Amino acid sequence: MRRVRIIQEAAEEAIEAAAWYEKEHPGLGIEFNHAINAALDLLEQDIIPLANLPGIMGISEAKRLVFRRFPFDIVVRESAEEIVVIAIAHHSRQPGYWRGR
């Protein structure tokens, strides 16, 4: 199993999204957190294929795991030792905003 590491910016995105969902509908923020934790567990177990993200000049080195219930992707960069979560990206946000991370 590879280690999963979450950078600060991605953690903050998850917290902000959960707070927004909780404000809009009590309990939904908790469900969002559960969805993130379940996705992180899948990443750590390395049992789910990740989709390539398009890059500026073809395929990006980043990959994504798409949520089923929420309009978010977990954007990651992989190495042999670890999977680094670089964004919890809403589908309506500008594509590729996380590239500099």
Tell me: pLDDT of 16 over 60.
yes
**Is residue 44, in this structure, part of any structural domain at all?**
yes
- In the beta sheet, which residues pair with residue 89? 73
Total domains in the chain come to 1
What pLDDT does residue 2 have?
87
Please report, for the domain that includes residue 85, its CATH number. 3.30.2310.20
**pLDDT, mean over the chain:** 90
The pLDDT tens digits of the residues spanning 74-91 come to: 999 998 899 999 999 999
- In the beta sheet, which residues pair with residue 59? 54
User: Sheet of 51-55: strands edge to edge?
Assistant: 3-6, 82-90, 72-78, 58-66, 51-55
Task: Give the domain extent around 72.
Answer: 3-90
Backbone angles phi, psi at 98, to 5 degrees: -90, 0
**Is residue 98, in this structure, part of any structural domain at all?**
no
Do residues 64 and 74 lie in contact, with contact meaning Cβ atoms separated by under 8 Å?
yes
**Is residue 16, in this structure, part of any structural domain at all?**
yes
**Secondary structure (3-state) at 57:** coil
Task: Say what the pTM is.
Answer: 0.88
Lowest mean pLDDT among 14-18, 24-28, 29-33, 80-84: 80-84
The pLDDT tens digits of the residues spanning 34-64 come to: 999 999 999 999 888 888 887 654 556 889 9
**Is residue 19, in this structure, part of any structural domain at all?**
yes
Tell me: pLDDT of 95 over 90.
no
**Is residue 97, in this structure, part of any structural domain at all?**
no
**Is residue 59, in this structure, part of any structural domain at all?**
yes
**Is residue 24, in this structure, part of any structural domain at all?**
yes
**Is residue 65, in this structure, part of any structural domain at all?**
yes
